[in-house]
């Protein structure tokens, strides 16, 4: 967003959008501000959004309220203001502790800024901090990655998201890969990074509750993101946001201009919408479930999709158990660490 005029109409549009949905969606126990760089939004604007939302929807008293913050934008004043606005969880995009790699990834902050940001988050009173990291960056090896993890946990974060690198063309690294001067880390090595991460963080007392997510305890899992993996309904507001009501999923216009125009005309700013059939929902439930340590609750699954999972795929499941990809426990089909690595294949059973 460039001028304040844009900012104004954005805020107005967002509230208009919320009004469109307040009948269909009412109770929320998690709230998440993220995607893009929300921390550039001035605190005043944020207030102008959140207050009306609190009027339109009902938020649980014990809600989880997360905001994504860029280490470069995290002044103490800003963080304190966020806290006052009701945020109780910070997701900080640290990514790496190596300035060279950060530059390669096209990140605008430095390792030192990230370090300071973490200290400030604590000082501002946040007791639930999540740190994002990236692995399998060309040039990274197991030792340097473990050093990254070691330094990260020295800040005692409650939660970690460790993502395998996805190469973005827009970044310097993307350009180098495209031109062929740097090659991607191969699949076997990426698997090694994944396993090393799981092992290292297990020893450090983190539970890998989803393929890329680690929490100090069950209560510190990201409740908001769990909704995606549990196939629960969610409402996303703003450009490029996605929503799901249990049957339909829709995506808003990516372009701010289209988003604003649509709402000015009292239309839903939706670019794509799909209604999901039983088979589609089932496939989603499978691949989402297989990403999480809790796996798939068999009774619930069978009831929801009118299937007999063990009856229909018993042989295959038996084979996958024998090979150490899955375990059957307390009526759930749960991926092992090795299984989490192959969540997509497991979903196809």
Partner 1 sequence: MHMIKYIRNFSIIAHIDHGKSTLADRLIERSGIINKRFFRNQILDTMDIERERGITIKSQAITLPFISTSGERYLLNLIDTPGHVDFSYEVSRSMASCEGVLLLIDAAQGVQAQTVANLYMAMDHNLSIIPVINKIDLPTANVEMVLDQIDAELGLDPYSALTCSAKEGIGIEDILEAIVHRIPPPTGDPQSSLRSLIFDAQYDAFRGTVIHTRIFDGTVKQGDIIRFMHAGRVHKVEEVGSFLLEREPRELLTAGDVGYVIAGVKTVSDVRIGDTITKDRQPSETPLPGFREVKPVVFASIYPIASDDYEDLSVALEKYKLNDSAFVYQKDSSIALGQGFRCGFLGLLHLDIVQERVEREYDLSIILSVPSVRYRFTVTSGEALFVDNPAHYPEITAITRSEEPYIRAAMMFPDRYMGAMLKLIIEKRGVNSHVAYPSPGRIELTVEMPLASVVYDFYDRLKTITQGYGSFDYNLIDYRESDLVLLDILVNGEKVDALSQIVHRGIARERALHTCEKLKEEIPRQMFKIAIQGAIGGQIIARTTISPFRKDVTAKCYGGDITRKRKLLEKQKKGKKRMKMVGSVAIPQSAFLSVLKTDES
Give yes or no for residue 342 binding partner 1 (CB under 8 A).
yes
Region near partner 1 per CB under 8 A, out of 62-70, 96-104, 285-293, 297-305: 285-293
- Binding residue (CB under 8 A) for partner 1 from 165, 177, 201, 263: 165
Binding string, 238-277, against partner 1, x = CB under 8 A?
--xxxxx----x-x--------------------x-x---
Rounded Cα–Cα distance for residues 176 and 198 (Å): 29
Buried-exposed string 109-141: b where 16+ CB fall within 10 A, e elsewhere: bbbebbebbbebbeebebebbbbbbbbbbeebe
Give yes or no for residue 170 binding partner 1 (CB under 8 A).
no
> How many residues interact with partner 1 (rule CB under 8 A)?
45
Binding string, 213-232, against partner 1, x = CB under 8 A?
------------x--xx---
Q: How many Cα atoms within 13 Å fall on the side-chain side of residue 284?
A: 18
252 touches 271 (CB < 8 A)? yes
Residues 293-322, interacting with partner 1 (CB under 8 A) = 316, 319-320
In the complex, what is the shortest distance from the CB of residue 199 to partner 1, in angstroms, rounded to a whole number? 15
Phi/psi of residue 229, each to 5°?
-75, -25
| Beta partners for residue 220, in sequence order | none
Phi/psi of residue 328, each to 5°?
-105, 115
In the complex, what is the shortest distance from the CB of residue 327 to partner 1, in angstroms, rounded to a whole number? 15
Give yes or no for residue 188 binding partner 1 (CB under 8 A).
yes
Give yes or no for residue 8 binding partner 1 (CB under 8 A).
no
- The contacts of residue 206 (CB under 8 Å, 6+ apart) are 153, 160, 214, 215, 216
Question: In a 10 Å sphere around its CB, with 0-12 CB exposed, 13-18 middle and 19+ buried, how is residue 218 labelled?
Answer: exposed
In the complex, what is the shortest distance from the CB of residue 343 to partner 1, in angstroms, rounded to a whole number? 4
Helix-strand-coil split of the chain, %, nearest 5: 50, 20, 30
Binding region for partner 1 (CB under 8 A): 35, 163-166, 187-188, 190-191, 194, 211-212, 225, 228-229, 234, 236, 240-244, 249, 251, 272, 274, 280, 283-284, 287-288, 291, 316, 319-320, 323, 325, 340-345, 347-348
């Amino acid at each position: 967003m460039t001028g304040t005029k844009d900012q104004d109409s954005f805020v107005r549009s967002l509230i208009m959008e919320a009004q469109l949905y307040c009948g269909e969606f009412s109770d929320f126990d998690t709230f998440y501000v993220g995607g893009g760089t929300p921390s550039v939004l001035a605190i005043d604007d944020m207030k102008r959004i959140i207050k009306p939302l609190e009027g339109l929807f009902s938020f649980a008293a014990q809600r989880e309220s997360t905001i994504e913050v860029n280490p470069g934008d995290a002044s103490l004043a800003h963080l304190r203001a966020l806290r006052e606005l009701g945020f109780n969880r910070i997701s900080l995009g640290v990514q790496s502790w190596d300035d060279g790699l950060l530059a390669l990834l096209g990140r605008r902050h430095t390792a030192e800024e990230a370090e300071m940001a973490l200290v400030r988050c604590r000082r501002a009173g946040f007791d639930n901090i999540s740190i994002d990291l990236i692995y399998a960056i060309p040039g990274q090896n197991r030792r340097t990655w473990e050093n990254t993890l070691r330094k990260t946990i020295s800040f005692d974060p409650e939660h970690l998201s460790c993502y395998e690198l996805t190469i973005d063309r827009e970044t310097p690294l993307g350009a180098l890969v495209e031109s062929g001067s740097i090659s991607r880390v191969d699949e076997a090595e990426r698997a090694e990074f994944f396993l090393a991460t799981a092992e290292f963080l297990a020893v450090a007392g983190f539970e890998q509750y989803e393929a890329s997510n680690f929490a100090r305890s069950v209560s510190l899992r990201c409740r908001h993101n769990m909704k995606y993996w549990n196939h629960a309904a969610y409402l996303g507001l703003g450009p490029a946001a996605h929503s799901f009501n249990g049957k339909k999923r829709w995506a808003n216009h990516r372009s701010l201009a289209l988003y604003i125009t649509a709402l000015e005309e009292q239309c839903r700013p939706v670019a794509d919408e799909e209604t999901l059939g039983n088979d589609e929902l089932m496939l989603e439930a499978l691949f989402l479930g297989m990403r999480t340590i809790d796996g798939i609750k068999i009774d619930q699954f069978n009831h929801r999709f009118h299937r007999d999972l063990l009856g229909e795929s018993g042989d295959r499941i038996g084979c996958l158990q024998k090979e150490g990809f899955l375990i059957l426990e307390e009526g759930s089909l749960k991926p092992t660490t090795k299984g989490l690595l192959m969540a997509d294949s497991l979903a196809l059973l």
